[in-house]
Structure 1
Amino acid sequence: MTGAVAQLVEWWRSGENARAHVVAADGGAGVLRRVHEVVPGSVLVDAAGLSAEELLAEILDRFAVSARGRRPAYWLAEIKRMAAGSLLLIANVDRAGRSRSSGQPGIIRDRLVGRLALRMRVVTGGAEPVDEAASGVALVRVPLGASNWFDRPGEAPAELVGLALAEPRRVPLAVWSELVTAYSGESASPVDLVKWAEQFPGVVGLSGGCAELTDEWLARCLRDAVPGDVATGVHRHLVEWLRNHVEPHPEGWAADGPVGRYAADGLLVHAAHPDLVDEVIGDGSVVANLSREALLDLAGSASEATAGDTAAADAVYLSYYWVDPESQRELAAWLHLMATARGDFELAGGIAERSGVRLPWRTRWTAWRPPGGYHPSFLRPGPVGELCAVRWDGVPAVAVFLTATDEVEIRDMASGRRLAGPWPEDEFPEEARGRLTREDSADSAGDGQGPYSGRQLLDPGRLSDDRPSPRLLELPLSFDRNVVLAGGGGVVGVELLDPGLTGVEPSKRRPLLGAAAAAGPCVPHGAPEVTAADLERVVRAACVVRPAADALPEGIEHSGTRKFLSEVGVPEFAAIGVALRPREENFLAEVPWDAELEEPESAGPFFRLGGFVGGVLVVDGVTGAVLRRPSSPDEDGLEGNLLASDLASFYTMAVWWITGLSLLRDIDEHDEAHMLRQHIDDALWEIDRDGSAAGAWLYPLRND
């Protein structure tokens, strides 16, 4: 046995430390292969090119973990049971992911290996040096091969630097040629590059029309030695070259050969270096061809949450619901749906019409809150519990059962336009009975004796007083080549394009390591800014009271408050812990602030507006600030009584708060619910930093 192999075997026999790491130019593959041969029952896997989830799936396969045990709460215990006394060897951890900028190596080290090491002994391998002081990790080093390029990377030949600047590690010869040309300014043909590479078989590997550096640490050293402006120029050049040279393909770029595969995985990463991501990801003809892994990696590698109105965020939110398309065509169809749902029709058009990807199905209309959606316009129609094919005045339509309100609305099957309703589910209006018929009724034109309730529309076996909404879009209704899908966010209409396709069933794989990444809130494309005026619409106020200026109490001295009350007014409503009651006798009555209560953050006098999370909602007549007077001195978790600096801010905060809590009530996916709570908190903070810290705003977000 070599020294490194002997060290690892001795570590294994000693029983010390749960983790070991070998540093070697080949990512530890050679050493770990020999250890695997020596240690009975050990399992060897290679992380090169894999995501953390893909690597975990392979590990579960190797230990024969059943499908039943492949759930977030069970897989670790199942591995302990199935792999008792085994040694797990993972080579090429730093080559994980589809590109050099991927965040997958870190996820594997921190979230996967860190958890595995709680149940078994694990050895990882990589080319990059690691922190020798890493707690609980035994380190073994294999001497690096002698090379002047490690000592003087700035003197390395352009051919080598070009390969190092590649993002996907397996580089088609045509791409390598462009990288070298962009870096050196001199042309380099694929033929010449092959001849050059053949002189360095231990440094550059050649196969299948592609080249690859064999030592990932050498690649890192070479990349770090390239001046920033030079590297940026190379990446910019390659982004332009790839967009102009990749051939369209019905199955997506990756199906067109090595260059297409490189572009699908690497274009977005190259675009990040010269800050071209927004341009690239905003082009639907490109987005439809990008791999799911590239989109998720972009989101996972960002220092802040990815903007919620991008295809990268779409991929993140779809992953929360386990959507894991088996083909690029299916992925493109889902991205087209998400873009359509948020009204980004330019992006959707690029995906469907200019990408070259042949969609298996295409979204025609949506009345649906896409995963990640956080905006007042996504409140309706809300969760859908049932669908029924009907005709309205003889036109094919769909009856949509709204679970939040126990109502039914009728939508045109082809366009999604609402034709009638919503009506109470237990009794339709008289005029509906002459125009509405079931699709399977003999009289499709209507005979005046149509169904008079939702129960008459549904088959007896589907009747239930408690119909839970599907999680995503799992309630289908087919009509010729059109399918209407419904779920927790509403309803959408799609057209089946593949001749053999009979429905839309998302390919699913449940993430076992938790959320792939974070993303910002999804808002409708081009939506106007939410303002105080939106509160009336969001709460469906029974009325809006606008007191005349001379009818306001004299104690309300603040001119902005007096103007707001008289012009914008006060909507009458009660919703999710907040109530404004302008028609009550004590509206705008002066409210005393008892001495035993938490001291107010302004001096008053205070005037009653309504209620807020169990307290009294008041406005300060002098400053215009909006406060919550506590209900008792013993409240817990509701500290801080300043809610907003003025009424306009309070109304706008209330819009986002009510919207968010209403949506949260209908979301049963843990990761999306967690993100939405953060988005609500962020929205309040953006409007009024001081007021957003009040415990009354935060309590419902932190206490389910």
Structure 2
Amino acid sequence: MHKALSSLGVDLSPGERGGDWRFTLGSWSEERLLVLVNSHRAGLTRRSYEPERLLHSTLPLLARGKLAVLTDARPELLPSGAPAEAVFRLAEPTDLAPAPDLPAALRALALAEPRSVPLPVWAELVAAVTGETVAAGELTEVARVHADAVLVGSLGVSFVDEAVAEVLRHQFDSAELTRVNRHMVTWLLRTSADFRHPEGWAKAGAVGLYAATGLAMHAVQAGTYEELLRDGGVVAHLPQASVMDSARSHSFIIPGNSPASDALHLWNWGVVPRSQGEWASWLHLMAWSRDDLALASSVASSGVALPWRVRWARWRLPGGFHARFLEAGRFIRLAEVRRQGRSAVAGLQKRVAGGSTDPYVTIRDVETGELVAGPWEQGEIPQEHGTELTLPTATATAPSASSGAQGSQSPERPTRLAELFGASSPPRDNSAFLLPCAPLLVGDVLVFGGDLGLLAIQAANGVDPSVLSDTFGSRRQPLSWEYSDAGPSTPVDAAPSSHSDLIALFGEEDIFEAEPEELPDELTHQGTRDLFTDFGLPDMDEGGMALLPYGDGEVELFDEVDWPDDVESVADRGPFFQIGTWMGGEIVVDGPTGHILRVPTGPDEEELAGLPAARSLESFLTMVPLWVTGLRTRALLPPGSPERGQITHWVLGALADVDAAGGEQPAWSYVLHNE
């Protein structure tokens, strides 16, 4: 992609790369033609998903304005909607079929995934196909005799004409392919200690490079890919691109909570590490962030030298979908303070509600990220905390004029919140960094913050923290843009969704129980009555939904509501008791059944028909935090983020898991689809 755009004259220098090259191509006044050959062989492996991605995603982005793109492709890779006048069908070549007397060694060579195959790998392929051991000298002789078919290079042996390998591969049945690939996965893993390297397998020679780029694709065909992903000691050596490519080749649906989904989510956010060590550090952070400590530990002990490691993480990681990931909130600025003599981080944060932004301040322990004071929303630091906080001691850098000694000043005790951030730097470009708050170095800990939350990392020995301050979380839009969707990440130890998740989103102080005497006698469903009195309703107004645990100026909790005569009736017969509003209509509970419904405002609301929103109050109060989590998560995403569309599907899928019928109520999806 870089070569194609450069040849077209697009400026891809570091200062210009962040721009949208699509506008550059679309603004040309003269016609141009870009010719790409062998597009069906894109990618580092023969099984690669890259040819399909190139034809279905990347080339349509290139062909814009007066630029036309011409490429060759296999018929099965053509996009289904390709216009007939844009496709030119050529006769199949007739002289590429391999001669029937090609030796078994060349047939085995065709089953390699990377196209350059070191002799030890070739020997193992032969053993997998034939069951016979072959010496390197014998393979060298085969290559010499068949010099018209194969080339010997610095990285190994490859076919002169890749079409020969493609035909040979089709001569194996599926059982043989599975067996050979299982053999190769086992052998590569067994011998991986031989090419272990602090910069990743790819730096350990030709066999290491083959393993780094080919192991995952062998595992896809061996049926062991998911098992491979659970081994952080292996995945840490695989390039991000190889993990993504193999994941998409394995399945169209890529589940969350794995290194594969991590790779895709980071790529789609523009986090494309420049080295294998940095990529391993990101794998470690992503696993740690969702509490997958076993995977994080295996990445850390992989033998790859991590330039930094996470100390703690309280953020919504890319791809995250859970209320726990939102608990820390959104950060605007960071500052170092002392609390009771210990280093701490003051965070200027913002709470967005009802279209307005309310600032507040929190204090967190720098070693753990634990909240130790706040939130404070007024201008002054509360008096009871005034003696706890001091600003870092400022030590003079020049001798005192009177004594010549090193001068210093006593710790200053701030009284107003604004004083905490007097020396803090303004945020960086939000589009250039994942966490745009100016980084804060406290001792050996680097703290980063932004809308996604807060986290801390520690540089490895010999790594300059100031370099990490400038590079950590920098976003570089990949030239080929988004790769593929993946499922959401959740804490691995998270309990099943329940109504108690409302506490994490709204706090216990904003959830109000109903008194038994408040319940209408006609509300006869016992489970519903118990939940109202034992747990209650949150005081919320979000996404067009308001729950009213103590009513409002116009509505009392449990007001009886008549079903409108001009609206299609529902199976439930009532009486119906109001507990809130939803896009203008009442949210009601059916007294005999406990079903939760939204009452349409009129007959013109066909798209918001009166289907039950949930089969029970328990289901409804379990669905609400999933829905609110989706809304709040989407609010954190930058415009144009592919996750904005994915969030809708994650939320609706989660709602259906709780209540299949209730999840079909269009009101749940209306805001997600239309805002």
Which interval holds the TM-score relative to the shorter structure? 0.7 to 0.9
95-104 or 627-636, which moves further after superposition? 627-636
Match of 1:652 in 2: 622
CA contact (8 A) 1:644 1:688 kept: yes
Q: State the distance in 2 between where 1:551 and 1:461 align.
A: 52
Matched, 1:315 2:263: yes
Any idea what SS the aligned residue of 2:598 has? strand
Match of residue 193, structure 1, among 139, 147, 153: 139
Cα distance, 1:330–1:497 mapped onto 2, change above 3 Å: same
Identity among equivalent positions (%) equals: 35
Question: Which 10-residue stretch deviates more, 427-436 or 83-92?
Answer: 83-92
Letter in 2 for 1:347: L
Alignment of 1:141-540 (within 5 A): 141=91, 143-145=93-95, 147-149=97-99, 157-246=103-192, 247-352=195-300, 354-404=301-351, 406-424=359-377, 426-441=379-394, 450-459=413-422, 472-475=434-437, 476-501=439-464, 502-504=466-468, 505-506=471-472, 508-540=475-507
Contact 2:185 2:222 in 1 (8 A): no
Counterpart AA for 2:345: V
TM-score where L is the length of structure 1? 0.84
Matching residue of 2:635: 665
Match for 1:196: what amino acid? V
**Aligned partner of residue 455 in structure 1, secondary structure:** helix
Q: Distance in 2 between matches of 1:440 and 1:636?
A: 65
Q: Which of 537, 545, 557 is the equivalent residue of 1:570? A: 537
**Partners of 2:188 and 2:366 in 1: CA distance:** 41
**Superposition deviation, residue 61 in structure 1:** 0.7
One-letter amino acid of the counterpart of residue 207, structure 1? G
Deviation sequence 1:544-567 (CA, Å, 0-9, x none): 555566764332233433343344
Counterpart residue number, 1:97: 43
Deviation digits for residues 266-302 of structure 1, max 9, x if unmatched?
1111111232222211111112111111122134335
Which amino acid in structure 2 is aligned with residue 376 of structure 1? A
Specify the SS of the correspondent of 1:422. strand
CA distance in structure 1 between the partners assigned to 2:115 and 2:510 by the alignment: 64
Corresponding residue number in structure 2 for 1:557: 524
Cα separation, 2, equivalents of 1:659 and 1:130: 38
Instruction: Tell me, yes or no, if the aligned pair for 1:97 and 1:103 is still in contact at 8 Å.
Output: yes
- The structure-2 alpha-carbon separation of the partners of 1:256 and 1:477, relative to structure 1 and needing over 3 Å to count, comes to same
For residue 608 of structure 2, the aligned residue among 638, 641, 647 is 638
Q: What amino acid does structure 2 have at the position aligned with 1:435?
A: E
Q: Distance in 1 between matches of 2:549 and 2:44?
A: 59
Cα offset, 1:250, TM superposition: 0.9
Alpha-carbon RMSD across the aligned residues, in angstroms, is 3.1
Aligned residues: 642
Distance 1:661 1:544 in 2: 20
Counterpart CA distance in 1 for 2:10 and 2:580 is: 57
The Cα shift of 1:105 comes to: 0.6
- CA–CA distance in 2 between the matches of 1:486 and 1:573? 27
Q: 1:447: Cα distance to partner? A: 8.3
1:600 to 566, 570, 590: 570
Q: Distance in 1 between matches of 2:344 and 2:475?
A: 30
1:681 corresponds to 2:652:
yes
TM-score, with structure 2 as normaliser: 0.87
Is 504-513 or 602-611 further displaced after alignment?
504-513
In the TM superposition, what is the alpha-carbon distance from 1:456 to its structure 2 partner? 0.8
For structure 1, the residue ranges without an aligned partner over 5 or more in a row are: 1-54
Aligned residues of 1:536 and 1:544 also touching (Cα < 8 A) = yes
1:59 partner letter: A
2:34 corresponds in structure 1 to: 88
CA-CA distance at 1:73 after TM superposition: 8.5
| 2:400 matched residue in structure 1 | none
